[in-house]
Structures are given as C-alpha cells and as structure tokens.
Amino acid sequence: MNQILITNLNDDNNNKLNNDNSNNNKIDNNINKSPYKNFFKIQFAISIIIIITTISFSTYYFYSLKNKERISQNLIGNYNIYKLYANTQTQEEENTENNLFGIIEIPKISLYYPVFSNLTEENLKVAPCKFYGTNLKENTNICIAGHNYNNDMFFSKINQLSQNDEIFIYDNTGIKYTYLVTQNYEVKEEDLSPIYNYNKNEKTLTLITCNNLNSNRFIIKALQITS
C-alpha cells in the first residue's frame, strides 16, 4: 500500500514537473516568437506605405501630364479663335515676339501642338518652344525644342521619324509650310552643332528633344519644300 502511494506521489510530482517544463517551453517559445511577429508586422506596414506612396505618386504624375496636354489643346483653341478675328498684319509680329510662333503638325506620329515663340521652362512644360531662327519665310534654321515624356505627348515620338516624312508648320496668318525630314540622329547633350551648322541658302527646321536613356539629344532635320 505504501509502495502504491509512493508511486502515485512520484507520478504526480513527475506530471507537475512535466507540466511546469511544458509551460516554461511555451513561455520561452512565445518570448522567442514575439520579436519575429513584431518584425513581420513592421515590415508589412512599411510595404503597405511604400505601395500607397508609389500609387499616389504615379497617379499624380499621370494627372499632371494630362493637365499639361489639356492646357496645350486649350491653347490651340484660343489660338484659332484669335487668328480668326485678329488683324493678321499685326498678329504675326505680336505673337512672334511675345506669345505663339505658330502650330506644328506631324501626321506620322499624330502630333499637333502650338509652338511658343520663346523658350522658358514654364512654356516648355505646356508646349514645344522655338528658341533659334527668325521666321519661316527666310533662309534660316528654325529650332524647336519639346519635352520627351516617353509616351505619346509632345516630342516623345519624334525619334520614329524617317527620311521624307512630312512636317507642317502653320504661321500666325494661317500659311502652311511643308518640310521633309532629311536626318534623324543623336548628339551629346553639350553638342550645339545642330543649331548652328546649316546651309545658309536653305530653309531648315530642327526638332530637338531628350533621349531619356542616355542623356543625349534626338535631332530631326528637315528642309522646307513649299512656302
């Protein structure tokens, strides 16, 4: 009988020890797992913040580009109304000096934009800008710069032009000047030769935009064939 009691007592003690050890192990496991759980929670929260920030920035950038496109199209509408009712003799002088040089159209890449008569950072955000050359009637090199947004806007697709593609420039009196592409090439950012190297006996057009992959400049050269 005593032997049975002793055995039972021993068993109870062993069970208590086992339970204590099990509880201790659980506590240890919980202690060990807790930092990992917190780490993964923090990492998950950071990932969510990064994703939301990226989506917000992309949405804002897209909206900003679309807004610039809308402003540019509104300029064309206002330009056409002004051209319809204004005195054409003074219109060319005023717009060439202070506002719009004309309109550029390139059918191959579905490009149709007003062209500012002077180059500023703010103007360049809205439409292409003329920055060199006098007027379309003289033997000169009309240079027009435009942004490359790597999409369908502004001068993003002029690198797709090839020899004999047509470019139309409309002046402020509505006269249409036709140019044919002669060259499509790239230059280094600091290379100004496309601006100053041209035949002084020809009416040349030069379109310039950035190559966003290597910081070079895309250059399109064209010659006027009608006036």
- Which of 126, 79, 84, 125 lies closest to 100 in space, CA to CA? 79
The CATH number of domain 86-224, selected from 2.40.260.10, 3.40.50.300, 1.20.1730.10, 3.40.50.720: 2.40.260.10
Residue type, 53: T
pLDDT digits (tens, 9 = 90+) for 157-209: 999 999 999 999 999 888 999 999 999 999 998 899 999 999 999 999 999 99
Q: Is the pLDDT of residue 18 over 70?
A: no
Q: What is the pLDDT of residue 39?
A: 66
CB-based contact 134:140 (threshold 8 Å): yes
Backbone angles phi, psi at 196, to 5 degrees: -100, -20
pLDDT digits (tens, 9 = 90+) for 84-112: 433 433 333 444 445 899 999 999 999 99
Q: What is the pLDDT of residue 106?
A: 98
Q: What is the pLDDT of residue 209?
A: 92
**N-terminal to C-terminal alpha carbon distance within the chain:** 126
